[in-house]
Chain A
């Protein structure tokens, strides 16, 4: 056990690092056959909020032979203290260094956490490059959405896993346990693991490049699959919901029970990677959810539940579920919240119940300012939908609405940007008309992010808007969005641009990540730590052109760095959707309408399943 008490007395918010929370599982280190560190490359407050790692933590620790412990990125103050004292980064449960585990698993939630991953490996005493690690070092694996194009960090990992981890983690650990007993070499272990569907071992794939920098080919070694296909839980209803959850001392980002209603979303928004890679839709039944929630409320003592999913109000029995939960728990002061509301599925009465009577502000995501633009992204929301939802909200008692938009979507013109301002003003005027006595209390806050084209989406071939153009359009919007009651927030164009470079990057970018980390980059997603100058310096030293990755139109025939990784949605569907976007054609949701032939169901031999019974296949 690593002694850190003296250090803890000096750092900010020491309870990030102490562990010992209610619900923590601490198993006997010496008795576990395989020891897993679940690592989140950001602060405790962010990482402890992540549902995926909570599920794996529970599943691994339920097994008598395995142990899982948590590791988070240390804040700058703890990093300095650890380096000064020459102490390693440690797990919260047993306070063991990362290097003492058999398997270290990172989750890849966003590209701007890559320097934190290197920093954590380094602080944990693990050589960064997979080829520099021997049998004495842990095996490094990563999963999460970033694993669908992990190429920029491929050289740092031994393996990646595509899909839903609970489907394969026990298979992976069983191989590791056998390998440990048999004393297999690292190379042999990787060979064994590559036989598990969903496991991608990057060193078994050789990438070659053309003169112009595009890929010439991806060659799989003998005996490994040419394409690695994602794994998913076919029947979510049979997939157990953990009966216990850690209750942190400190206030984390999502400090509540997260009840997962369903996985997947088939709305088909063309910019949305989650909507493509998590298909198909699989819903849990109301009785299953109720039973799980009852246990979790008793075990945790939480007074708040979030109904979590990609688009929770799309849950086919949302009204029945909410009514049941309100009946059961409103007398016990349990608050039920919904993370996202859809405009075209906005039931004002539901929203009122969700907010527990509090009417601070409501958030809608029209995503684009004009109807044309919304058709391009397959968000079939009309101006009338938007205004009637806003009207319902204002009449329901809300005075402040937040509207989320994206900038830089394919085919976007100045008219679409001005359309954002016009829509916001229309909503504001509507609100003032309804709140006649207090028109100045009505507020519309507009939040605009920069569109980043992501792999495995219909827009994966599209160029991202250049930095200069983003800044011009931001100024254009600011000029049009002025006046009392209107508020504008936007994302830093530079972080979105960097995200774009790595989202569709190839293996050569590993040098840039490593150099940036060596220059001092970490916590790049945190505005106060983002060092754009150091990143530019890292690109200069590597000789790579970032615009090549972010701002270039790719052709449909180009080999993409993630072509050997299969998210289930076929390339023909993505191209077809891209063409339909150009033409402004909508593609309906296969929950209600006909199958849109995305390829997921036949490819993975699954079917959509809805809470009230079978979905359409």
Chain B
């Protein structure tokens, strides 16, 4: 058995494909690619795949990760080529590393996500207002979002602790672009749509792209691929 970790992108209209649909889709992509995926034992065998944290519906990404177990070793270049040959438009295999050691699941190690918001202030007269609003949010101790509770009803949750960092990038033509770093994983997270709902000033519907998922130990941050080496 050989383990591989893949980085792939999910862009364009594929942002409308749910995580569950993507999981099913990958099983078929791997079959089409004719790659020797290992299957679990039992009455209902399933391919041994390990996905990273789910990407919210409507969000694009250039930093999605997938762990795959194969029954034999295949050249990484060939795996990428074969995957890209059979992926629907919008999905693209970008990088692949063979694991030199036993890997912990992606969802157990990834704890930081970076989102890029483009066109937040596209139609606004005063883009500065949005910058001031982000600064205002940062000064709060408590930022409440309402979530559905298990077993019906709703609950309020303070998500301030999940916001780690932010940065404005200037992008000619499309106004300022916000890069937002958030906590993700077992500790909890703030979803991009929840973040947008915190704004007290009018905003435009932005294009949102997950640009990075990191493994951050408080001192260093590394890509999940780096853990394979």
Query: What is the interface of chain A, defined by CB distance below 8 A to chain B?
Result: 5-6, 8-9, 13-15, 18, 20-22, 247, 249-251, 297-303, 333, 356-358
Contacts and interface: CB of A to CB of B under 8 A. Distances in A.
B17 A15 contact: yes
A255 B169 CA distance: 44
Nearest to A355: B43
A22 B31 contact: no
A301 B86 contact: yes
Nearest to A11: B16
A300 B16 contact: no
A301 B24 contact: no
B27 interface: yes
A301 B43 contact: no
B58 A21 contact: no
A356 B24 contact: no
Given A20-B14, A301-B32, A302-B31, 9 more contacts: A5-B13, A6-B205, A8-B13, A15-B18, A20-B89, A247-B25, A251-B24, A301-B30, A333-B39
A275 B33 CA distance: 41
Contact of A18 (B16, B27, B32, B43): B16
A528 to B, nearest CB: 19
A358 B44 CA distance: 8
B161 interface: no
A357 B90 CA distance: 37
B88 interface: yes
A15 B17 CA distance: 6
Given A18-B16, A20-B14, A301 B29 contact: yes
Nearest to B14: A20
B21 interface: yes
B31 A21 contact: no
Contacts of A358: 43-44
B43 A15 contact: no
B28 interface: yes
B81 interface: no
B16 A15 contact: yes
Q: Which 5 A-B pairs have CB atoms at the shortest separation, nearest pair first?
A: A301-B28, A301-B31, A301-B32, A14-B16, A18-B13
Nearest to A8: B16
A250 B14 CA distance: 12
Nearest to B37: A333
18 contacts: A8-B16, A9-B205, A14-B16, A15-B17, A20-B88, A249-B25, A250-B17, A251-B20, A297-B31, A301-B28, A301-B30, A301-B32, A301-B86, A302-B28, A302-B31, A303-B27, A356-B43, A358-B43
Contacts of A20: 13-14, 88-90
B30 A333 contact: no
B58 A9 contact: yes
B45 interface: yes
Interface size class of B (residues with CB under 8 A): 20 to 34
B57 interface: yes
Contact of A249 (B17, B34, B44): B17
Interface of B: 13-14, 16-18, 20-22, 24-25, 27-34, 39, 43-45, 57-58, 86-90, 205
A417 B188 CA distance: 57
A301 B45 CA distance: 16
Contact residues of A: prevailing secondary structure:
loop
Given A20-B89, A333-B39, A358-B43, A15 B21 contact: yes
A297 B31 CA distance: 8
Contacts of B31: 297, 301-303
Contacts of B33: 301
B88 A21 contact: yes
Contact of A14 (B45, B57, B88, B205): B57
Contacts of A8: 13, 16
B86 A22 contact: yes
Contact of A22 (B13, B30, B57, B88): B88
A302 B28 CA distance: 6
B207 to A, nearest CB: 10
A406 B154 CA distance: 45
A250 B88 CA distance: 14
Contacts of B39: 333
Most buried by B among A21, A333, A357, A358: A333
A122 to B, nearest CB: 25
A81 to B, nearest CB: 14
B200 to A, nearest CB: 22
Contacts of A298: 32, 34
Nearest to B25: A249
A356 B43 CA distance: 7
A250 B28 contact: no
Nearest to B40: A333
Contacts of A250: 17-18, 21
A303 B33 CA distance: 13
Nearest to A23: B88
A238 B31 CA distance: 29
A5 B14 CA distance: 12
A251 B21 contact: yes
Contacts of B88: 20-22, 249
Nearest to B87: A22
B51 to A, nearest CB: 15
Contacts of B58: 9
A357 B42 CA distance: 9
Contacts of A356: 43-44
B56 to A, nearest CB: 11
A608 to B, nearest CB: 37
Contacts of A299: 32
B83 to A, nearest CB: 12
Contacts of A22: 28-29, 32, 86-88
Contacts of A303: 27-28, 31
Contacts of B20: 251
Contacts of B18: 13, 15, 250
Contacts of B57: 14
A1 to B, nearest CB: 12
B32 to A, nearest CB: 4
A18 B11 CA distance: 13
Contacts of A6: 205
A301 B85 CA distance: 13
B18 to A, nearest CB: 7
Most buried by B among A247, A251, A301, A356: A301
A249 B17 CA distance: 7
A302 B27 CA distance: 8
Contacts of A15: 16-18, 21
B13 A249 contact: no
Nearest to B45: A333
